[in-house]
Amino acid sequence: MSQNTDQTMPDAQALAEAAAEAMWRNDAASQGLGMRLLRVAPGEAVIAMEIEPRMLNGHGSCHGGFLFALADSTFAFACNSFNRRTVAQACGITYLRPGKAGTTLTAHARLSAQSGRSGVYEVRVTDPEGEVVALFQGQSREIGGSVTGD
Protein backbone atom coordinates (compact mmCIF):
# COMPACT_ATOMS: atom_id res chain seq x y z
CA MET A 1 0.00 0.00 0.00
CA SER A 2 1.46 3.34 -1.00
CA GLN A 3 1.35 6.32 1.29
CA ASN A 4 0.24 9.73 -0.05
CA THR A 5 2.54 12.62 0.75
CA ASP A 6 2.49 16.25 -0.23
CA GLN A 7 4.93 15.43 -3.03
CA THR A 8 2.76 12.71 -4.62
CA MET A 9 -0.77 14.04 -4.09
CA PRO A 10 -1.67 17.02 -6.29
CA ASP A 11 -2.75 20.13 -4.44
CA ALA A 12 -6.49 20.59 -5.07
CA GLN A 13 -6.26 24.40 -5.21
CA ALA A 14 -3.34 24.34 -7.66
CA LEU A 15 -5.25 21.85 -9.81
CA ALA A 16 -8.36 24.07 -9.79
CA GLU A 17 -6.26 27.07 -10.83
CA ALA A 18 -4.52 25.13 -13.63
CA ALA A 19 -7.88 23.89 -14.96
CA ALA A 20 -9.31 27.43 -14.85
CA GLU A 21 -6.28 28.83 -16.68
CA ALA A 22 -6.60 26.18 -19.40
CA MET A 23 -10.33 26.86 -19.81
CA TRP A 24 -9.97 30.66 -19.77
CA ARG A 25 -7.40 30.54 -22.59
CA ASN A 26 -10.06 29.13 -24.95
CA ASP A 27 -13.18 30.84 -23.55
CA ALA A 28 -13.86 33.50 -26.18
CA ALA A 29 -17.51 33.77 -25.09
CA SER A 30 -16.83 34.77 -21.48
CA GLN A 31 -13.97 37.04 -22.45
CA GLY A 32 -16.03 38.64 -25.23
CA LEU A 33 -18.73 39.57 -22.72
CA GLY A 34 -16.15 41.25 -20.50
CA MET A 35 -16.27 38.65 -17.73
CA ARG A 36 -13.44 38.52 -15.22
CA LEU A 37 -12.56 35.32 -13.38
CA LEU A 38 -11.98 36.47 -9.80
CA ARG A 39 -11.48 33.20 -7.98
CA VAL A 40 -11.57 29.46 -8.39
CA ALA A 41 -11.32 26.69 -5.82
CA PRO A 42 -12.30 23.02 -5.87
CA GLY A 43 -16.04 22.98 -6.65
CA GLU A 44 -16.30 26.75 -6.62
CA ALA A 45 -15.80 29.81 -8.85
CA VAL A 46 -16.47 33.56 -8.80
CA ILE A 47 -16.83 35.67 -11.96
CA ALA A 48 -17.78 39.34 -12.36
CA MET A 49 -19.27 41.15 -15.36
CA GLU A 50 -20.21 44.79 -15.89
CA ILE A 51 -23.61 45.38 -17.48
CA GLU A 52 -22.98 47.41 -20.63
CA PRO A 53 -25.65 49.43 -22.49
CA ARG A 54 -25.53 46.88 -25.35
CA MET A 55 -26.78 44.25 -22.86
CA LEU A 56 -30.04 46.04 -22.06
CA ASN A 57 -33.46 44.82 -23.15
CA GLY A 58 -36.52 46.87 -24.15
CA HIS A 59 -37.28 47.63 -20.49
CA GLY A 60 -33.85 49.14 -19.91
CA SER A 61 -32.61 46.30 -17.72
CA CYS A 62 -30.05 43.61 -18.40
CA HIS A 63 -31.37 41.00 -20.83
CA GLY A 64 -31.86 37.66 -19.08
CA GLY A 65 -29.63 35.91 -21.60
CA PHE A 66 -26.62 37.88 -20.37
CA LEU A 67 -27.43 37.06 -16.75
CA PHE A 68 -27.76 33.40 -17.73
CA ALA A 69 -24.41 33.56 -19.57
CA LEU A 70 -22.70 34.97 -16.47
CA ALA A 71 -24.17 32.28 -14.22
CA ASP A 72 -23.47 29.53 -16.77
CA SER A 73 -19.82 30.53 -17.22
CA THR A 74 -19.32 30.60 -13.46
CA PHE A 75 -20.97 27.17 -13.21
CA ALA A 76 -18.61 25.88 -15.93
CA PHE A 77 -15.48 27.03 -14.10
CA ALA A 78 -16.71 25.54 -10.81
CA CYS A 79 -17.61 22.13 -12.22
CA ASN A 80 -14.35 21.85 -14.20
CA SER A 81 -12.25 22.85 -11.17
CA PHE A 82 -11.46 19.21 -10.38
CA ASN A 83 -9.67 18.98 -13.77
CA ARG A 84 -12.23 16.51 -15.12
CA ARG A 85 -13.88 17.62 -18.37
CA THR A 86 -17.44 18.46 -17.43
CA VAL A 87 -20.39 19.93 -19.34
CA ALA A 88 -23.85 21.18 -18.46
CA GLN A 89 -26.54 18.52 -18.48
CA ALA A 90 -29.41 20.83 -17.46
CA CYS A 91 -29.74 24.37 -16.12
CA GLY A 92 -32.42 26.65 -14.77
CA ILE A 93 -32.49 30.24 -13.58
CA THR A 94 -34.80 32.43 -11.53
CA TYR A 95 -34.57 36.19 -12.12
CA LEU A 96 -35.31 38.17 -8.96
CA ARG A 97 -34.42 41.79 -9.77
CA PRO A 98 -33.14 43.74 -12.77
CA GLY A 99 -29.51 44.35 -13.56
CA LYS A 100 -28.75 47.96 -14.45
CA ALA A 101 -26.30 49.44 -16.95
CA GLY A 102 -22.96 50.30 -15.39
CA THR A 103 -23.46 47.82 -12.54
CA THR A 104 -20.94 45.05 -11.99
CA LEU A 105 -22.63 41.79 -11.12
CA THR A 106 -20.81 38.95 -9.38
CA ALA A 107 -21.69 35.28 -9.74
CA HIS A 108 -20.60 32.73 -7.13
CA ALA A 109 -20.95 29.05 -8.03
CA ARG A 110 -20.66 26.26 -5.49
CA LEU A 111 -20.98 22.49 -5.65
CA SER A 112 -24.12 21.37 -3.77
CA ALA A 113 -24.12 17.62 -4.40
CA GLN A 114 -22.27 15.04 -6.46
CA SER A 115 -22.88 11.40 -7.31
CA GLY A 116 -20.75 9.49 -9.78
CA ARG A 117 -20.21 11.60 -12.91
CA SER A 118 -23.11 13.99 -12.13
CA GLY A 119 -23.13 17.08 -9.94
CA VAL A 120 -25.46 19.87 -8.92
CA TYR A 121 -24.21 23.43 -8.55
CA GLU A 122 -25.91 26.56 -7.25
CA VAL A 123 -24.96 30.00 -8.56
CA ARG A 124 -25.92 33.27 -6.89
CA VAL A 125 -25.69 36.40 -9.04
CA THR A 126 -25.50 39.52 -6.86
CA ASP A 127 -25.22 43.27 -7.36
CA PRO A 128 -22.63 45.50 -5.60
CA GLU A 129 -24.93 45.87 -2.57
CA GLY A 130 -25.09 42.08 -2.18
CA GLU A 131 -28.71 41.87 -3.35
CA VAL A 132 -29.51 38.67 -5.26
CA VAL A 133 -30.30 39.40 -8.91
CA ALA A 134 -30.68 35.77 -10.01
CA LEU A 135 -30.39 32.21 -8.72
CA PHE A 136 -29.16 29.52 -11.10
CA GLN A 137 -28.97 25.77 -10.66
CA GLY A 138 -26.87 23.65 -13.00
CA GLN A 139 -26.53 19.92 -13.33
CA SER A 140 -23.14 18.80 -14.58
CA ARG A 141 -21.94 15.64 -16.28
CA GLU A 142 -18.33 14.49 -16.54
CA ILE A 143 -17.48 13.45 -20.10
CA GLY A 144 -14.01 11.98 -19.63
CA GLY A 145 -10.54 13.42 -19.94
CA SER A 146 -8.86 16.29 -18.17
CA VAL A 147 -9.23 20.02 -18.72
CA THR A 148 -5.48 20.60 -18.70
CA GLY A 149 -4.78 17.74 -21.10
CA ASP A 150 -2.63 15.87 -18.56
The 10s digit of each residue's pLDDT in 103-120 is: 999 999 999 999 999 999
Model confidence pLDDT, tens digit, residues 60-102: 999 999 999 999 999 999 999 999 999 999 999 999 999 999 9
Which pLDDT belongs to residue 3? 45
Decide if pLDDT at 7 tops 70: no
CA distance 115 to 10: 22
Measured at the alpha carbon of residue 91, what is the angle toward residues 59 and 58, in degrees to the nearest 5? Answer: 10
CA angle (74, 78, 79) in 5-degree steps: 120
Average pLDDT estimate for 25-38? 97
- Residues 6 or more apart whose Cβ sits within 8 Å of residue 7: none
- Mean pLDDT estimate for the chain: 94
Question: In degrees, to the nearest 5, what angle opens at C-alpha 116 toward C-alphas 84 and 110?
Answer: 65
pLDDT above 80 (res 2): no
Write the CB contacts of 100 (distance below 8 Å, at least 6 apart in sequence): 51, 61, 62
What does the pLDDT read at residue 150?
A: 80
